[in-house]
Structure 1
Amino acid sequence: MVNTLELVLALLAGAVLVVGIFRSLNLPPVLGYLMVGAAVGPHAMNLMPDTGGARYLAEFGVVFLMFTIGLEFSLPRLYSMKRIVFGLGAMQVLASIVLAMIAGRIGGLGWGAGFALGGTLAMSSTAILSKLLSDRLELDSRQGRETIGVLLFQDLAVVPLLILIPALSGPADALFDTLALATAKAVALLSLVLFFGQRVMRTWFFYVARQKSAELFMLNVLLITLGLAWLTEIVGLSLALGAFLAGMLISETEYRYHVEEDIKPFRDVLLGLFFVTVGMFLDVGQIILSLPAVLAMLAALLVGKFLIAGAASRLLGSPQGTAARTGLWLCAGGEFGFVLLSQIDEARLLPPALSQVVVAALVLSMLLAPLIVQASEKIVLRLVPSEWMSRSLQLTSIATQSMFVDKHAILCGFGRNGQYLGRLLEQEGITYIALDLDPERVREAAAAGETVVFGDAAKRETLMAAGIARASVVVITYADTDAALRAMSMVRACRPDVPVVVRTADERDLEKLQEAGAAEVVPESVESSLMLASHALALVGIPLPRILKRIREIRAERYHLLRGIYRGGEHLHEESLEERQQVRLHSVPLEAGAYAIGKSLAELRLRELGVEITAVRRQRIRVVDPVPETRLELEDVLVLLGTPSQISSAETRLLKGV
């Protein structure tokens, strides 16, 4: 018992340490689990020589993974993407399998082993690629939709592959009968479960949810998932198929999102254990001895899948640049390759040495996947000469929109927030140019007369074409903080002095965005809270002027640039005595003979008077939040923030030194 406890603690400590390191380096955690498994396995420290029980427990990780795939299964979504999913996706998987079968036959493998190997290598990483697409704002791009469509087909293809691979280990003369029987069982079970199951599942979940017990709801999900997995195993099929069916049934109910959140901790932990058990069979010494074979397999995997996916995309009518990008996105291996490889090992379809080579090649390809995606644009420009012309036309389109405008606003992102902002700017007579990466949104908005063009705000050439050198403000409306930081970094590189306003979901990233150079950060959570509070206070009887005053005070504390306004003389007779003593902004130009010329802000000690210098304008350049070391020059304009009496004292000191 002590040894078992020590082993569990060692596994947990290793997993926490290694996965934490991998996440901090933005590497897929699956690779960390594989490394932990390799360290404790029989080929290294040999902490787990008997792995039968652990492998059986780890199989439940695959069960919950297939369950979540079933939850995401959507017939309407499949229908809307049928051309990509069942066209491009099917071509990519089938061509990979056929090519592997031919190569395997040449290398002395049987057809069954080649088929299983092809299915393993055909898989790409849904977890890695979907996150990269989201981070790079390319989910709605053409290559993004093609990548997601292929990944969706790969997820679906795992189900029949899990049925076929065990059948391939039988005698060759009985293969057809085995496959026919397995297919008949799967079809009968699918028909029975889908025909009767949906109605029963919806009614059953309604009664369970009506009890309003989170514990009961979770127990019910586990019962259905493991019960259907047990049922499919009883009839001679895989546990994963039953879990997939359970997910499909629940996906048709209104409880799917609740179930997905509840099941996620079980799936992630058990799937991590599965990858640990896969890593246990990695023989690092054997892999080093077979390093040339590993590198050859890695090259064959990357080049072969790139050519297959790119050619399939081209056959379906995609431009050369899009086809090349799709091929680069999909060329690496994926986590489902390890799932299928565990089935291949159990069926003994591949020699152990070759299995080690395949595992090592998959691990290396997944490590390389983010780097390949990051370099994809440069690779495409080298491989596809016509892409230069396409890029030039895109930049010309952007430059055409910005050619005759000056002091305009550049909106990075034209989603809901960008469109509302654009309308406000238009009503105030301010010209704007919006950059967006959703081609459908750009097409519809441009057709309606909006000044929006297709372009990536994180690229220097796009910002230059949009007239960043002449822009008066840049507004970044991205919901994703990393994407906003990339765009802001490029804006700062192109023009450091232009003010940048950034939207963020909440206050967690406020300081990070401010440190990156944002003149103002607007957290949506703060604004929604202010609106909720104002309505609630009004409904409980608080006078409206008092509510507005409170909201102004909160905003003044939160938003630096919104503190104070410039008040003209025509407003003085409208203000109450209290309003006249509120903080305001006031501009003080430094003309010849002014005391402050040549002195630093620190030397003037204006903060002692209760006044803050919010900006300094010099030669048409406005510097927000000047540093204390800033030395003032002739014709500088200082923007002061304070009460009228404080501003009067500060102005006297600036001009006369008193």
Structure 2
Amino acid sequence: MIGPGDQIESLAEIGVVFLLFGIGIELSLEELRHSWREFLTIGTIQVGLCCLVIVILCRLFGIETATAIVVAMSVAVSSTVIVFRAFTEWGYTTHPAGRRAIGILLFQDAAILPVVMWMAASERHGSGAVSFAISSILLAIPLILAIPILRLVVARWIVPGLGRLRSTEIAVLFALLVLTPFGYLSYVMNLPVALGALAAGLVLNGNRMTKQLDALAQPFRETFGAIFFISLGAYLNLQELHEITMGTLIFCPLCLVAKAASLVLALRWSGLPWRSAVGLGATLFQMGELSFLLLWNGRQTGIVSGDLYNALMLIAVANLMATPVLVYWGFRIIRGSVAERQPDRTASGDSELPKVVLIGAGPMGGHIAAYLETLGMDVCLVDQSPLNLQPFAQQGFRTICGDGREADVLQRAEILDSAMVVVCVPDDGVAIAIVKAARQLNPRATIIARCRYQSHRSALERAGANCIIVEEIEAAWAVQRFLQESKR
């Protein structure tokens, strides 16, 4: 229903910008720093092997070398947004599988830079193309080197001042102020603005306001991100689908097979068992958001033909629609391996603060979370309502949206490593189920449960609660204290 046009394309690109900006904020550079050589090697094997096989396939099908390079790079790239979000929600970002996946995603995004520069230079001729490519590279080097310096400046001098102001509006303006120049510099260098947004997010990463800035930018990210995924249909010209040749229809699935094989082989080479390599490969199987932009630019410059473009876009959209199923299936396989289930503490930059899982982000849960934070505890709030969790995310709390009765949700909240679980839900039946699930996952944790009616106290005790706060009894004591004070 939405046709291709400058307006919808601009909105879609803004969506990619905010999506990668959020990824840059959430990435933990401290975790990647410990094993960057491993990530560089895995990324090189995956991208290099995938591109090599696809270029050979292109030549066998009579496709020109220039087109083969663009197609190979487009297929080799996975969705940083979808995969990183899935690993964050499932709590796998600190696991060996999660760190390998994030390393591959970052390498893929960086590998796009030479291709984009080459595409921009190919529009020029003779010495102009060479000088343009050299100038783009020279401009990109100081931009990359400036990231750690600006990151240090922001964390040491700017963030403390923002914290003293206690203004969410100023924090949002500051985030946009950092995003704008990086996006503009990327545009000047003929690079995707989304990569500049990723760099801006990395500048804001690693300080005490990182989670708050990420939560404040969430409305922009969710709005424009939704526009991007909706607008994917605008990149696909349905009227030209009948022009796709049989050879192209055979070629495109073979490209995806090459990508799947390169992912599994690279991950297996890194030391993962075959089972985990296949599961992690399934989560990285889709084509990424930068793939769509790369193919679109290739179509606009005439490097990619119309039938090949439409065939790749059709398969990419179908692949993206199947991604939730592939991600769920992949995580089920990864979780089956005991070695991949436990976080890697040596490579993680996690703090040693005692962890608390608080289920139920209502008024009662909010007061308890604030008090636990003053005691120096790392609190993770779990609630089924994103609206209830949003204010806490803006304050820097870890939040998980989901049903506390489900084991997957509790594991994402890191209940296995938590010393305490606080259940604040107003429904006693739900509280009993949550306590049972929490006790099965963590037999050593101290579980404090809210109970509305005295008749349900014994059920909570049998479920495994250590401390039960009965509202009926507490209300009776409050009335009794009031009556005693009124007699004085």
Shorter-chain TM-score category? 0.5 to 0.7
Shift of 1:185: 0.8
Aligned to 2:293: 339
**Where does the alignment leave 5 or more consecutive residues of structure 2 unmatched?**
346-381, 383-399, 410-420, 463-472, 474-488
Greater shift, 182-191 or 297-306, is seen at 297-306
Aligned to 2:254: 300
The 5 A counterparts of 1:195-344 are 195=149, 198-199=152-153, 202-234=156-188, 236-287=190-241, 290=244, 292=246, 295-344=249-298
Shift of 1:307: 1.2
Distance 2:157 2:135 in 1: 33
Deviation readout 1:397-445 (Å, 9 max, x if unpaired)? xxxxxxxxxxxxxxxxxxxxxxxxxxxxxxxxxxxxxx99635689xxx
Q: Give yes or no for contact 2:43–2:107 (8 Å, CA) kept in 1.
A: yes
Aligned to 1:150: 104
Distance change in 2, residues 1:75/1:214 (3 Å): closer
Distance change in 2, residues 1:134/1:379 (3 Å): closer
Shift of 1:559: 4.2
The 5 A counterparts of 1:555-594 are 556-557=454-455, 559=457, 561-562=459-460
Pair 1:41 & 2:3 matched: yes
Distance 1:105 1:226 in 2: 41
Q: Give yes or no for contact 1:81–1:149 (8 Å, CA) kept in 2.
A: no
Deviation readout 1:107-130 (Å, 9 max, x if unpaired)? 344433222222211122344445
Find the partner of 1:107 among 61, 68, 90: 61
Shift of 1:216: 2.3
Shift of 1:93: 1.6
The 5 A counterparts of 1:149-188 are 149-158=103-112, 161-171=115-125, 175-188=129-142
Does the residue aligned with 2:204 lie in a helix, a strand or coil? Answer: helix
**Where does the alignment leave 5 or more consecutive residues of structure 1 unmatched?**
1-38, 43-50, 381-390, 395-434, 443-477, 489-502, 531-552, 565-578, 580-658
Shift of 1:306: 1.7
Distance 2:149 2:332 in 1: 51
Shift of 1:95: 2.0
Find the partner of 2:317 among 354, 360, 363: 363
Shift of 1:245: 3.1
Aligned to 1:120: 74
Does the residue aligned with 1:78 lie in a helix, a strand or coil? Answer: helix
Distance change in 2, residues 1:375/1:80 (3 Å): same
Q: Give yes or no for contact 1:68–1:260 (8 Å, CA) kept in 2.
A: yes
Q: Which amino acid aligns with 1:251?
A: N
Distance 2:193 2:84 in 1: 26
Distance 2:127 2:258 in 1: 32
The 5 A counterparts of 1:423-502 are 438-439=341-342, 485=406
Distance change in 2, residues 1:487/1:325 (3 Å): closer
Shift of 1:86: 1.1
Does the residue aligned with 1:251 lie in a helix, a strand or coil? Answer: coil
Which structure exhibits the higher relative contact order, with contacts defined as CA atoms closer than 8 Å and separated by 6 or more residues?
A: 2
Shift of 1:358: 0.9
Aligned to 1:55: 9
Does the residue aligned with 1:333 lie in a helix, a strand or coil? Answer: coil
Distance 2:230 2:133 in 1: 31
**Equivalent pairs, count:** 396
Shift of 1:254: 3.1
Deviation readout 1:369-413 (Å, 9 max, x if unpaired)? 344455669999xxxxxxxxxx9xx9xxxxxxxxxxxxxxxxxxx
Deviation readout 1:122-162 (Å, 9 max, x if unpaired)? 12234444555567776666545433432343344455554
Greater helix proportion: 2
Distance 1:70 1:181 in 2: 26
Pair 1:90 & 2:61 matched: no
- Pick the structure with greater CA Rg: 1
Distance change in 2, residues 1:312/1:509 (3 Å): farther
Distance change in 2, residues 1:236/1:554 (3 Å): closer
Does the residue aligned with 1:40 lie in a helix, a strand or coil? Answer: coil
Deviation readout 1:276-327 (Å, 9 max, x if unpaired)? 4442131224335538567535522332112111222233344333333333
Q: Give yes or no for contact 2:43–2:103 (8 Å, CA) kept in 1.
A: yes
Q: Cα RMSD (Å) of the superposition?
A: 4.5
Q: Which amino acid aligns with 1:367?
A: M
Aligned to 2:356: none
